[in-house]
Amino acid sequence: MSLDSAQQDSKGNMPLNQKADDDKALLSHFVRPLEKKWRAGILGATGLVGQRIVKLLSNHPWFELTEVAASERSSGKRYAEAVRWHLDGAIPENARDLIVKGLDPTLDCDFVFSALDSSVAGTAEEDFARAGYPVVSNSKNHRMDAYVPLLIPEVNAAHLEAIPIQQKKCGYDHGFIVTNPNCSTAGLVLVLKPLADAFGLEKVFVVTLQAVSGAGYPGVATLDIQGNVIPFISGEEEKMETEPQKLLGKWDGSRFVDAGVGLTAHCNRVPVLDGHLECVSIGLKKIASLREVQEALRTFEVDAELAALPSALRHPIVVVDEENRPQPRRDVDAGAGMAAVVGRVRECPLLDVKLTLLSHNLVRGAAGAGVMNAELLAARGFFKSRVDQSQSVEESVSK
By annotation, the residues acting in catalysis are 183, 276
Report d(CA 194, CA 301) in Å as an integer. 9
295 close to 270: Cβ distance less than 8 angstroms: no
Which strands make up the sheet holding 340-347, listed edge to edge?
262-269, 201-210, 276-284, 353-359, 340-347, 317-319
Phi then psi for residue 278, to 5 deg, are -135, 130
Report d(CA 172, CA 134) in Å as an integer. 10
Report d(CA 238, CA 184) in Å as an integer. 11
The residue among 191, 166, 186 whose CA lies nearest residue 176 is 166
108 close to 39: Cβ distance less than 8 angstroms: yes
Report DSSP letters for 99-110, one per residue.
BEE-S-S--SSS
